[in-house]
Amino acid sequence: MVSRRSDDGDEERLIDEFASNRKSVNLKKRLERVRTLLHEARLPAVVESEYPYGTGGDDVLVVLGCVRIASPYTVQTCVCANEQVLDTVASVVALAGDTQVG
C-alpha cells in the first residue's frame, strides 16, 4: 500500500483556510448577537457591506443611521459624530462582551 502525503504547503493552506472559516463563522455569530441586543433595546440597525458585489470583507452594522460598528463588532469599533448617540449604542454593544473572535 502506498501512502501519499500532501505537501507542507497544502497542509498549511488547509489550516489557514480552516482558521479563516472559523473566524468568519464567529464574526457572523457576534454580528447577530449585537444586532439582536440592539433590536431588543429598540435601536434600529441594518447590515451594510463594506465591499459591494461580494468581493469579500466584513459587514458593517449601522445603527440609527449614524453609528457604524465595524468588525469585530465591539465597543471599540463603534464610530459616530454624536457622542450621546454613541454612548447609548456602545452601552448596548457592551452587553455582548468584548470576547476575542477567532
Average pLDDT in the chain: 81
Phi/psi of residue 5, each to 5°? -100, 140
Q: What is the pLDDT of residues 31-54, one digit of tens each?
A: 999 999 999 999 999 999 866 655
Task: Compute the distance between CA of residue 43 and CA of residue 67 in angstroms, rounded to an integer.
Answer: 11
Ranges of each domain in the chain: 8-96
Do 69 and 61 touch, CB atoms closer than 8 A?
yes
Does this model's pTM top 0.85? Answer: no
Q: Give the pLDDT confidence score for residue 5 in this predicted structure.
A: 52
Task: Compute the distance between CA of residue 79 and CA of residue 73 in angstroms, rounded to an integer.
Answer: 11
Confidence check: pLDDT of 19 > 70: no
Confidence check: pLDDT of 15 > 90: no
Mean pLDDT of 75-93: 97
Do 72 and 23 touch, CB atoms closer than 8 A?
no
Q: Which residues contact 1 (CB under 8 A, 6 or more apart)?
A: none
